Amino acid sequence: NAGVTQTPKFQVLKTGQSMTLQCAQDMNHEYMSWYRQDPGMGLRLIHYSVGAGITDQGEVPNGYNVSRSTTEDFPLRLLSAAPSQTSVYFCASVARGRDEQFFGPGTRLTVL
Amino acid sequence: LAKTTQPISMDSYEGQEVNITCSHNNIATNDYITWYQQFPSQGPRFIIQGYKTKVTNEVASLFIPADRKSSTLSLPRVSLSDTAVYYCLVLRGSQGNLIFGKGTKLSVKP
């Protein structure tokens, strides 16, 4: 199993540009989440999903959209990038009834 | 969910035992205590989870007193590679929506 994969690893955007961060998992996990981590800080939950077609907001959802059309994929869309969205983004998944979340390697995003 | 409080940072030397305490005064009956480890430039990794008394695995031990208002993560004989941030979380049937605090940054010195 590849586990949780994220692409790209690095990305530089200009203010106002849009882009999609990709996340995929091959463990057939029902639950998937997106977090952001700013320097020296803990992770903050952006959006999460408990299954295909179901998403919900986390602590810091503004400026981000998500959709879950399949169990495997959970893309995160930045609609109009802002410098405040410069961060490292982590995707995670967990099986229903379990508490051990598996995290991807992260995407480091810089918005100029 | 119960709020957790843990030290911002700790220093240790190789070979020592390290104990990181987390307080969670408002823990509920159905809550579990879970610890994650995060190395620089990586995503967090699940270490251990417990409900009460003591849990031990190949990585760490978790001690939880009877009142469950605190817990202690114990790392035996740390090495330089244990330098990481350690997060204490209180969970009640997670649906993937974890709430992380700032964690404890452990620095292990030679």
How confident is the model over B64-102, as pLDDT tens digits? 999 999 999 999 999 999 999 999 998 876 677 788 888
Residues of A in contact with B44 (CB under 8 A): 43, 90, 101, 103
Q: Provide the residue type at A70 as one letter.
A: T
**Chain B interface with A: residues with Cβ < 8 Å:** 32, 34, 36, 41-46, 49, 85, 87, 91, 94-103
Identify which of B3, B1, B8, B2 has the alpha carbon closest to the alpha carbon of residue B102.
B8
In the A/B pair of chains, how many CB contacts fall below 8 A? 67
Residues of B in contact with A102 (CB under 8 A): 46
Give the residue carrying structure tokens 């893309």.
Answer: A75
Q: What is the DSSP letter of B78?
A: -
Does any CB of chain B come closer than 8 Å to the CB of residue A94? yes
Q: Provide the residue type at B8 as one letter.
A: I
**Gap between the Cα atoms of A104 and A28, Å rounded:** 15
Nearest-CA distance B57 → chain A (Å): 14
Which residues make beta-bridge pairs with A44?
A36
Which residue among B49, B85, B96 sits closest to A33, beta carbon to beta carbon? B96
Mean pLDDT by 10 residues, chain A (112 residues): 93 97 96 93 92 94 96 96 97 88 96 96
User: Does residue B1 surpass a pLDDT of 70?
Assistant: no
pLDDT for residue A98: 81
CB contact under 8 A, B100 and A99: no
DSSP character string of A46-72: EEEEEETTEEEE-S--TTEEE--SSSS
**Gap between the Cα atoms of A24 and A15, Å rounded:** 26
* Token output for A59: 């602590």
Identify which of A6, A5, A17, A4 has the alpha carbon closest to the alpha carbon of residue A110.
A17
User: Does residue B39 surpass a pLDDT of 70?
Assistant: yes
pLDDT for residue B9: 96
Phi-psi region of A28 (alpha: psi -120 to 50; beta: other; left: phi over 0): left
**Per-residue pLDDT band at B60 (split at 50, 70, 90):** very high
**Per-residue pLDDT band at B3 (split at 50, 70, 90):** confident
**Gap between the Cα atoms of A8 and A105, Å rounded:** 10
What are the residues whose beta carbons fall under 8 Å from the beta carbon of A34, sequence distance 6 or more?
A21, A23, A45, A46, A47, A48, A58, A64, A66, A74, A76, A89, A90, A91, A92
